[in-house]
Amino acid sequence: MYTRIFASSTNAFINTGDGLGMAARAGIPLEDMEFWQFHPTGVAGAGVLITEGVRGEGGILRNSAGERFMERYAPNAKDLASRDVVSRAMVTEINEGRGCGPHQDHVLLDITHLDPAVIMSKLPGIREISIKFAGVDPIKAPIPVVPTCHYQMGGIPTNYHGEVMVHGDKVPGFYAAGECACASVHGANRLGTNSLLDLLVFGKSSGNTMIDYIKAQPQELPPLAMQDVDRAPARVNRLDTQTNGVAVNDARTAMQRNMQTHCGVFRFKDLLSEGVDKITEVEKMVQQTEISDKSKVWNTARTEALELENLIEVAKATMISANARTESRGAHVRDDAPDTPEHPNGRDDQNWLKHTLWYRDGNRLEYKPVNMKPLSVETIALKTRSY
Ligand SMILES: Cc1cc2nc3c(=O)[nH]c(=O)nc-3n(C[C@H](O)[C@H](O)[C@H](O)COP(=O)(O)OP(=O)(O)OC[C@H]3O[C@@H](n4cnc5c(N)ncnc54)[C@H](O)[C@@H]3O)c2cc1C
């Protein structure tokens, strides 16, 4: 989990993409980084997740006029349409002036019509979150919500054994599983609950492969290359000697604001290309961060500075990959690639049915084909998503 590159996120503060940062610095490409899932219902202002279960129990999204607006966007599934569809509908309502609150910057999730006994027995945690983070008891009043970044479909490229793959070759002894990995089981848009595949299926598979690899190694460890040993503390040394630098919080805030504005739920051609320039500027800030506390033990300021160096790799990969993909697909939706009969859902399969690979070195992009041949079942043909 590493949605902390965005200003609004469901993830914990520690979710800073450390694995991806390390892989990128080691020359491993990051795959499909343009595909981020926004969850529709984060508490406005806090980002904390309000589960789909609330809408599953009958919760209704309303705009400032009290209208159940999802009836217009997804007449059949309504409030239970998929996350990206609901998120985009909410942002459209807000952008078109039908948002709620003094700044018209959120919509409302209404469960006041539910029996309080149902809320107390089935959604007690949500009631607590709403009271703590929004100051609203959902038994009495609707919860203010906005889309908030939740999950990354891409990551470190792996095969289904968890082995990291570059140009079709295994990187010996390097494995990734979980949200940091891209075994590409979710394509451009994950279904809720499917992290279980990342964790249980590919976690176990990676573990088994690692055991086999370790058993096949000689007892003696190979000698350590001294240039790698010397390289390791370089970032810490830079932080310890930086003067006239940038505050970590300023650089992180600039990154998060840029990502939210230039590469959020909806993507706009001009904003994306401006975003590439801006994130390059933020990278320069990150290269000059300075910490005032140089103490050696449990120094959280140093940890945060190092974590930011990982986040910025994730942010650059995202912005540059998203700017390059000039179609809409899954969670990546651009204004200049609308839904038309020739390009259903804005997809351009002829040119863009392919995976993005972003390399840190020179922000280089490469592409690789999508594997459309499952091992043991028939492939499912691409088709238009509709609700
Ligand atoms: C609020 C919320 C609700 C969700 N609900 C669902 C759901 O209902 N269904 C579903 O399928 N998915 C859900 N997800 C998504 C799912 O939880 C995540 O995709 C999944 O937990 C990711 O697991 P992971 O092991 O890859 O990463 P993590 O759970 O983030 O684990 C990474 C671990 O690495 C450790 N770590 C981090 N940095 C370092 C470092 N530098 N050195 C050493 N260790 C480090 C962390 O402490 C952590 O223990 C939800 C996510 C959120 C945020």
Reported as a single tens digit per residue, the pLDDT across 46-58 is: 889 999 999 999 9
**b (16+ CB within 10 A) / e for 261-272:** ebbbbbbbeebb
DSSP 39-52: EEEEETTT--B--T
Q: What is the pLDDT of residue 222?
A: 84
- Report CA-CA distances (Å) from 378 to 136, 233, 372, 383, 385: 49, 50, 10, 15, 20
Region for residue 363 given its phi and psi (left: phi exceeds 0; alpha: psi -120 to 50; beta: otherwise):
left
| Shortest-distance Cα residue to atom 32 of ligand 1 | 1
Which of 345, 351, 349, 350 lies closest to 328, judged by CA?
A: 345
* Domains parsed from the chain with CATH numbers: 3-35+153-216+227-367 (1.20.58.100), 40-147 (3.90.700.10)
Encode pLDDT of 242-278 as tens digits. Answer: 999 999 999 999 999 999 999 999 999 999 999 999 9
Please state, in angstroms and rounded to a whole number, the distance separating the CA atoms of residues 182 and 337: 25
> Is pTM, for the whole model, over 0.75?
yes
Encode pLDDT of 208-253 as tens digits. Answer: 999 999 999 998 988 888 888 888 899 999 999 999 999 999 999 9
CA-CA-CA-CA torsion for 116, 117, 123, 124, nearest 10 degrees?
Answer: 90
Please state, in angstroms and rounded to a whole number, the distance separating the CA atoms of residues 183 and 346: 24
Q: What is the pLDDT of residue 102?
A: 93
Mean pLDDT across the chain: 95
CA of 186 to the centre of ligand 1 (A): 16
**Ligand 1, pocket-test mutation among 35, 179, 202, most atoms within 8 A of CB:** 179
The arithmetic mean of pLDDT across residues 316-324, rounded, is 98
Q: Contact 134/157 with Cβ under 8 angstroms?
A: no
- Report CA-CA distances (Å) from 131 to 66, 115, 137, 218: 21, 18, 5, 58
Q: What is the pLDDT of residue 35?
A: 98
Q: What is the pLDDT of residue 232?
A: 82
Q: What is the pLDDT of residue 1?
A: 77
Please state, in angstroms and rounded to a whole number, the distance separating the CA atoms of residues 310 and 158: 20
Q: Contact 48/129 with Cβ under 8 angstroms?
A: yes
Q: What is the pLDDT of residue 228?
A: 83
* Residues annotated as part of the active site: 83
Please identify, by atom number, the ligand 1 atom nearest to the C-alpha of residue 203: 25
pLDDT at 34 over 80: yes
CA of 118 to the centre of ligand 1 (A): 29
pLDDT at 346 over 80: yes
DSSP 61-99: EE-TT---THHHH-TTTGGGS-HHHHHHHHHHHHHTT--
Q: What is the pLDDT of residue 230?
A: 85
Please state, in angstroms and rounded to a whole number, the distance separating the CA atoms of residues 149 and 271: 18
Please identify, by atom number, the ligand 1 atom nearest to the C-alpha of residue 48: 1
Pocket of ligand 1 (CB under 6 A): 1, 10-11, 14-15, 18, 49, 151, 178-180, 192-196, 198-199
Give the residue carrying structure tokens 């940038």.
246
Q: What is the pLDDT of residue 2?
A: 80
Read off the pLDDT band of 317 (50, 70, 90). Answer: very high
CA of 180 to the centre of ligand 1 (A): 9
CA of 218 to the centre of ligand 1 (A): 34
| Shortest-distance Cα residue to atom 8 of ligand 1 | 193
Q: What are phi and psi of 144, to 5 degrees?
A: -75, 125
